[in-house]
Structure 1
Amino acid sequence: MSFPNVNNGCCGGCRRGVIRPGACPPSGCKNVQFSSGVSPVVLTTLANGVVGEPSIIGCGTAVAGVISTDGNIYSTGPVPEAYTVQHAGAITNISASFTITTVYNVIGQDAIVHAQVYRAPAGSDIFMPTGASVDLAPALTSLLPVGTTLTGAMAVIPPVTVDCGDRLLVVFTMSGSIGDVASTVTGTASATVTIQ
């Protein structure tokens, strides 16, 4: 997976761009905000209800992603959707939302939208899932109208350690019940991750 190169940084007041080795300040952002902006977030499930195509959101951007069979996301180039951690600490909570923007085809099932933080150590192009994740509610059914917002928050999670220079992504996925038909939903997404 390859992306065009732009500077990153999702928290107001923090320095944007790549962190140079040894240049990390002793403290930095507490709440890191991610948003799809005007970019459409398209989530799919496969015919058996398992996660299909995920969407990676950044600072006003969203791109389709590919989760490998080992659960990781492999990048072959710069990832503008990634936030570069600016001080060592731990992720302690996450909140997320997803707003439906088009008529969707969740048929005969309840599908769950899920947001999860992925982390790549400094110098690595492998983003691995972390324990910072949340399921959004309500579940998607064929009855929800366009404009409905799904929300979720995990105020207390086991701390996820991050180091200066690590890169973080927020990945949105959708899953349904085994045996159901494939489904697709399009919307906008946002998330806030707290690093302490």
Structure 2
Amino acid sequence: MAVEQYSLPGLRYSLDALEPSISGQIMDLHYNKHHQTYITNLNKAPKETAEALSNGNLVKQLELQSAIKFNAGGHVNHTLFWENLSPSFENFQTTLETTALAIQGSGWVWLVKNELGGRLEITTSKDQDLPVPGNLAVLGIDMWEHAYYLQYWNNKKECLNNIWAVLNWNAAGKRYLGDRRAIYGDLAGLASRL
């Protein structure tokens, strides 16, 4: 009977991709050493369990059950943990800011959900135009001068750096999961005609 062997899950990012929040050194130690130790110990358990059973060593069998639970839990928990982490927010933030700063004159930068595939995209619109049809607004940032000039003067970048602290991600999440009515509320009919 083949015994299942476990291995480290692949990461979708490099060990240093989470810096400065989590250093590459910590990621290397955490992933390659600690997580690998849970897997190594878990993979040894079937052989050690078979030996304890063949020797009738009940105490060792009980110890191994606890060790299996601990190491299997360490493997599962860490696998979930690595999936929770992503450098993508910083990439998203940089892309959105770069797109917003490229607007000439007045307009908006949008995080939109493409209605066909559900994919998130960053777009812009001129003046007071809505996102192009087929894209549902998830998040919009006003890039007209009236939205930043009195506080930030002509430093749009500083305004964008500071706006992250006040964005309503709960509203953005509801818009992403919803339809036109969830996004535009009572203005859905008006928005559909623009």
> Which of the five TM-score ranges fits, normalised by the shorter chain?
under 0.3
Name the TM-score, length of structure 1 as normaliser. 0.20
The structure that has the greater radius of gyration is: 2
Name the TM-score, length of structure 2 as normaliser. 0.20
Higher-helix-fraction structure: 2
The answer to which structure, 1 or 2, has the higher relative contact order (CA under 8 A, 6+ apart) is 1
Higher-strand-fraction structure: 1
